[in-house]
Amino acid sequence: MAGETEPKIEPASTPLTRREAMLQILRLGGAAGVVAGAAFWLRERSVKPVPLTPEQARRDHRTATDPQHPHLTVVRGGEPRALVQRALLDLGGMGRFVSRQDVVVVKPNIAWDRTPEQAANTNPEVVAEVVRQCWQAGAKRVIVTDVSCNEARRCFQRSGIQTAARAAGAEVLLPDPELFREVDLGGVVLKSWPVFTPFLEADKIINLPIAKHHGLTGCTLGMKNWYGILGGQRNRLHQQIHQSLADLASFMLPTVTLLDCYRILLRNGPTGGNLEDVAMKKTMVAGTDPVALDAYVAKAYWNLDPEHLPYLHMAAARGLGTIEYDKLPVNFSQLE
């Protein structure tokens, strides 16, 4: 299911070691020799990055359908850790999604400089429990990351996600400008765009969004969370937001999605800030059909039908899932 990986580019000749380069600089002598020798060493050590084509970049992380397990599970009435545990159990356990020695990237929403109570970012305890479950399944590395909208360091800290994820043993990566690669996403709107490299190199990707209101689309759920893999001027994508969401959903094919509905932001999203806009729902909606998940949560909390969310129809037309979640095997659990 995985796509091709980027070919390695070998230098034309064996590069000089640092010691050999310095000796050659000394032999050349003088200031001109230092400049020439240093330039030679840097040239030999450098490899020009090659843009990825859609076939090289796009990797299919999806999990095969299993008739023994539901496509969608809705768990209500528990604390974050218990909600994650039960949702994964209903879907067949984390071992169904993560294998031994996998490098797993967990993608929460860490976009905003907000506290957990303001419900603009994924609940930190949800993130921590997903990390623990990955380790228990035998993961080799577990990385938690996002490309924030507000200043990243403050978002990662104030959201509580950095502390919680690290306490659970995750490697937390801030969006370093040096770690973006220009990729042809092969979309209708999304063509060449910088993508944060952890999302190009992972064995498995777990989508971990929070359910909240959005001024342009009515709500922001699983597919909108993929904006957080991109660098560049993402606000440009709002001009054709539904098409860009379908393009992103076609490019990022997650292993599993857990949609955090512990607290939801009912109004004034996606940034929020006012606690009066937050509703405590104590719910987790998870599954392997990203279209069905978004369709279910949009209807459940904002009474939005797929006709109000064109990106769902676009994604379904591309074979990414179904908007008819009521026709899928769905499991409902109540913890309290």
- Superfamily of domain 54-334 in CATH is LarA, N-terminal domain (3.40.50.11440)
pLDDT per position in the chain (336 positions), as tens? 444 434 343 444 444 444 444 334 334 444 444 344 444 433 443 344 555 665 567 779 999 988 999 999 999 999 999 999 999 999 999 999 999 999 999 999 999 999 999 999 999 999 999 999 999 999 999 999 999 999 999 999 999 999 999 999 999 999 999 999 999 999 999 999 999 999 999 999 999 999 999 999 999 999 999 999 999 999 888 899 999 999 999 999 999 999 999 999 999 999 999 999 999 999 999 999 999 999 999 999 999 999 999 999 999 999 999 999 999 999 999 997
Closest CA to 298 of 306, 290, 288: 306
Domain boundaries defined on the chain: 15-48, 54-334
What is the identity of the amino acid at 13?
S
Closest CA to 83 of 208, 225, 265, 220: 208
Closest CA to 192 of 4, 52, 46: 52
Q: What is the pTM of this model?
A: 0.84
- Tokens 């008739």: give the residue: 67
Quick one: 7 exposed, middle or buried, by C-beta within 10 A (0-12, 13-18, 19+)?
Answer: exposed
